[in-house]
Amino acid sequence: MSSVVEDVIAFCRMFSSFEREEICCGTVSPAQCVLLQTLTEGEWDVSALASHARVTKGAMTRLIDGLEKRDWVTRTKGEDDARRVLVSLTPAGTKEAKRLHRLTERSIATILNRIPESNRPEVIRSLNLLRTAAEQTRTQLDCC
Amino acid sequence: MSSVVEDVIAFCRMFSSFEREEICCGTVSPAQCVLLQTLTEGEWDVSALASHARVTKGAMTRLIDGLEKRDWVTRTKGEDDARRVLVSLTPAGTKEAKRLHRLTERSIATILNRIPESNRPEVIRSLNLLRTAAEQTRTQLDCC
DNA sequence: ACTATTTAGTTGCATCATTCAACTATTGGA
DNA sequence: TCCAATAGTTGAATGATGCAACTAAATAGT
C-alpha cells in the first residue's frame, strides 16, 4: 500500500522527467522552456521573470540572452521607467512555445488515457484543486 | 477557466520548487535527495541507480561520491560479480533520508490541508491513479 | 536643484552538475 | 587462452547558477 506522499513524489518526478526528455529531444533547456511558456502570458520584466522562475536576475539575464540569440524573444526599454527591460515573444518564439506546449499536452494526454474513463472527471477536478492549493502555499514561501 | 494541462504543469512545477527549496535550505542537492530516498528501498548497483535517476553512470558515480564523503552511503563489491558496486545507506544516511522525507511530507500536508475536507478522499485517490498511469507511461519511454 | 540612496539589469568569477569518451577491472564465451 | 562485452571510474569540456561588483536610471531628503 503506498501513501499519498509517495504518490505525489512519484507522479511529480515522473512528470518532470517527461518534461526534461521531451525537451532534451529538441534544443531548449528546461528553464528556457518554462520561460517561453511564461511569456505566452504577455510582456514581463526581468525581475518578475526571475522571481517567477525562482532564479537570480543574473541567471534570468542569461536565459533571456539565449532565447534572444535565437530570435524567440525581444527586449524593449520600459517607457515610464528606462531601467526596466520588458521581454516579449517574437512570432518565432510564439511558435516555439506552442510546439513545446503541444508536446506537453501529448504527454499528459497519454497519462490521462491510462486512467479508467469513469475516474477521469474526478482526477481532472482533483488536479485543479491541487494546483490551486499549491499556488496558495507557494505565495507564502520565502525561505532561502 | 484553466485546462487540465495547465493544472498539471503548474502543480508539478510548484512541487518541484518546494522540493528544491526545502532541500536547498539544508545541505543536499536535489539529485542527492532523490538518491537517498531511492536507497531506502534497499541496495542498488550503480547502473540501476543511474537508469532510475535518468543520468549517466559517470554522473551517478559522482553523486554517490558526494554521499559517501558524508558517510551517508557505502559501496560494497558484488559477491557473485566483482564488477558490480552495491550502494547502500549507512545509519546516518538512513536518518538523513528520513529527515528529507519528513520535510516532503510536511509540504504535501500543507497543500492537502488547503483542499476542502470533503474533496480530499477523491484527490488522494486521484493521485494514486495518476502515479500508476505515469509509471506505466514511463517504462515505455526511451527517447534521447 | 543637488546629492545620496535605492532599484533594474548586466557582467565576471567561481562552483557545481552533467555528458562524452577513454580507461581499468572483471566476466563469459569461442 | 584470448577476445568481446559489461560495470564502474575518471578527465576534459560544457552549461547553468549564485554571488558580488558594476552601470544606468529613478527617487527621496535636504
Residue A133 contacts residue B108 (beta carbons within 8 Å)? no
Continuous segment of H or E residues that includes residue A87: strand A85-89
B24-81 residue pLDDT tens: 566 788 899 999 999 999 999 999 999 999 999 999 999 999 999 999 999 999 888 9
Instruction: Note the strand D nucleotides within 7 A of protein beta carbons.
Output: 6-12, 15-21, 24-27
List the A85-89 sheet strands across, edge first.
A44-45, A85-89, A73-77
A19-73 residue pLDDT tens: 888 775 667 899 999 999 999 999 999 999 999 999 999 999 999 999 999 999 9
In chain B, which residues have their Cβ closer than 8 Å to the Cβ of A115? 129-130, 133
Question: How high is the pLDDT of residue B47?
Answer: 95
- On the 0-12 / 13-18 / 19+ scale of CB atoms within 10 A, A123 is buried
* Residue among A8, A22, A134 minimizing CB distance to B127: A8
Under an 8 A CB cutoff, do B7 and A127 touch?
A: yes
Question: How high is the pLDDT of residue A25?
Answer: 67
CA A53/CA B102 separation, integer angstroms: 25
Q: How many CB pairs under 8 A join A and B?
A: 167
Within 7 Å: CB of B35 and strand D?
A: no
Sorting pLDDT into bands at 50, 70 and 90, what band is B144? very low
A113-126 residue pLDDT tens: 999 999 999 999 99
* pLDDT over threshold 90, residue B1: no
Phi, psi of A44 (to 5 degrees): -130, 155
Sorting pLDDT into bands at 50, 70 and 90, what band is B21? confident
Under an 8 A CB cutoff, do B105 and A5 touch?
A: yes
Instruction: Note the strand C nucleotides within 7 A of protein beta carbons.
Output: 7-12, 16-22, 25-28
Cα angle: A78, vertex A81, A83; to 5 degrees: 80
CA B96/CA B72 separation, integer angstroms: 8
Sorting pLDDT into bands at 50, 70 and 90, what band is B10? very high
Within 7 Å: CB of B29 and strand C?
A: yes
Cα angle: B37, vertex B136, A117; to 5 degrees: 125
Residue A4 contacts residue B127 (beta carbons within 8 Å)? yes
Continuous segment of H or E residues that includes residue B23: helix B4-24
* pLDDT over threshold 50, residue A141: no
pTM of this prediction? 0.89
Look at strands B44-45 and A44-45 and give their pairing. Answer: unpaired
**Mean pLDDT in residue range B76-100:** 94
Q: What is the mean pLDDT of chain B?
A: 90
* pLDDT over threshold 60, residue A103: yes
